[in-house]
Amino acid sequence: MTRDSLVRIEHLDIDYRQHGVWVPVVRDVSFELREREMVSLVGESGCGKTTLALSILRLLPERESAVRGGRILFDGSDVLRMDPDGLRSLRGGRISMIFQDPFSSLNPVLTVGEQVEEVLECHEGRRDPARVKSLLERVVLPDPSRIYSSFPHQLSGGQRQRVMIAMAIASSPKLLIADEPTTALDVTVQKEILDLLTRLQDELGMSVLLITHNLGLVAERSHRLAVMYSGRLVESGETAAVLASPRHPYTQGLIQSLPRIRRTGSRLPMLPGQPPELSRIPSGCAFHPRCAKVFAPCSREIPPLKKMGSSPDSDEAVACHLFGGPAS
């Protein structure tokens, strides 16, 4: 099934300032998100996945970050060149975002109702308590009237994340970015929240960019999967295909280190070493010091992301010297 492109990121470079020195956080990332699809962006902490997500809404801290190059096209227009008015109608309107920590993401001095209603007021110009309550109902919060006048500290973590979701879907966005939406929650609540997101995506016909470091979460839900390492995209493709036959040694390592119910007795394999510090990214392929299949070109040249697979509309791509196919 082919779908129309919704977000297109082209050769994006982002730097952060650390102790007065600019370090690369995102390098040469190109990436596409289509309508009504769920894409997972996977990688270890600090690989640049959250930065990438925040840059789509231009929410990066102004003084400490800089987009050095590339374009972010949403529905054909470049987000990086948008004026403040255009950006405001985009944020919370056509693109909304939910964050990792529901405990700190809601304003402690405003009621839940006020915070959800704000989105409607901002994008549709009217206050509508009845709509807010139906939104709260839609994200399966019990007793919406009570929740409406509650303060965030009176709710549980899962309930707060549901409030964040209600806020995010208030103006029927085309894209929902979920930045590790379940990391701060209990395991049982994690599944409920992801089920809710999957259901809402279907009902509202939106695209979802799910950022996570948990491969197990994405396996059954997302259509496509992209893996990041040290600021670069190292592999992408249909989720099922990537999980079944990962090409990049890093992806292989991630999948092997997933605990499985049937495999008992043996030690869980793990990737040796640590992801590199941003100020000291190794030459060539950033993964080469940890890679079991390292060979001559790895430390010299950065492998480009190459299209894999036989059919021309194949989604699979990998950035590794082991795969010397034609450059995409």
Partner 1 sequence: MTGYFFRRLFLMVPLLWGITFVTFGVMQLAPGKPVDVMTDMNVKMSAESKQKLVRLYGLDKPWYVQYGLWLKRFVRLDFGRSFKDDRSVSRKILERLPATLLLNVLSLLLIFVVAIPIGVASAVRQNSFFDKGMTVFVFIGFSIPTVWLALLMMIAFGLKLGWLPISGLRSLNYDELSWFGRMADVARHLVLPVTVSAFTGLAGLSRYMRNGLLEVIRQDYVRTARAKGLPESTVIYRHALRNALIPVVTLLGLYLPELIGGSFIFETIFAYPGMGRLGFEAIMARDYPVVMGVGVIAALLTLLGNFLADVAYGYVDPRIRHSK
Question: Which residue in the set 77, 104, 145, 328 belongs to the binding site for partner 1 (CB under 8 A)?
Answer: 104
C-beta of 119 vs 319, nearer to partner 1: 119
Q: What is the spatial distance between Cα 53 and Cα 35, in angstroms, rounded to a whole number?
A: 17
Selected range binding partner 1 among 72-80, 85-93, 218-226, 287-295, rule: CB under 8 A: 85-93
User: Distance between the two ends of the chain, CA-based, in angstroms?
Assistant: 21
Question: Which residue in the set 107, 156, 257, 274 belongs to the binding site for partner 1 (CB under 8 A)?
Answer: 107
Question: Which residue in the set 6, 25, 39, 106 belongs to the binding site for partner 1 (CB under 8 A)?
Answer: 106
Q: What is the spatial distance between Cα 61 and Cα 134, in angstroms, rounded to a whole number?
A: 34
C-beta of 166 vs 298, nearer to partner 1: 166
Q: What is the spatial distance between Cα 147 and Cα 165, in angstroms, rounded to a whole number?
A: 14
Selected range binding partner 1 among 1-9, 80-88, 256-264, 317-325, rule: CB under 8 A: 80-88
C-beta of 9 vs 166, nearer to partner 1: 166
Contact 143, 104 (CB under 8 A): no
Residue type (1 letter), 228: M
Q: What is the spatial distance between Cα 53 and Cα 307, in angstroms, rounded to a whole number?
A: 23
The SS3 call for residue 250 is helix
Does 178 sit near partner 1 (CB under 8 A)? no
Cβ neighbours for 241, distance < 8 A, ≥ 6 positions apart: 316
Residue type (1 letter), 139: V
Question: Which residue in the set 5, 30, 89, 183 belongs to the binding site for partner 1 (CB under 8 A)?
Answer: 89
Contact 16, 278 (CB under 8 A): yes
Question: Which residue in the set 50, 51, 55, 96 belongs to the binding site for partner 1 (CB under 8 A)?
Answer: 96
Selected range binding partner 1 among 21-29, 92-100, 128-136, 138-146, rule: CB under 8 A: 92-100
Does 67 sit near partner 1 (CB under 8 A)? no
Selected range binding partner 1 among 104-112, 124-132, 210-218, 315-323, rule: CB under 8 A: 104-112
Selected range binding partner 1 among 26-34, 83-91, 206-214, 253-261, rule: CB under 8 A: 83-91
Question: Which residue in the set 8, 23, 128, 151 belongs to the binding site for partner 1 (CB under 8 A)?
Answer: 151
Q: State the number of binding residues for partner 1 (CB under 8 A).
A: 30
| Burial degree of 85 (CB within 10 A; 0-12, 13-18, 19+) | exposed
Ramachandran angles phi, psi of 38, nearest 5° = -110, 125
The SS3 call for residue 138 is helix
Q: Please report, as ranges, the residues that interact with partner 1 according to CB under 8 A.
A: 57, 59, 84, 87-93, 96-97, 99, 101, 104-110, 118-119, 122-123, 151, 153-154, 164, 167
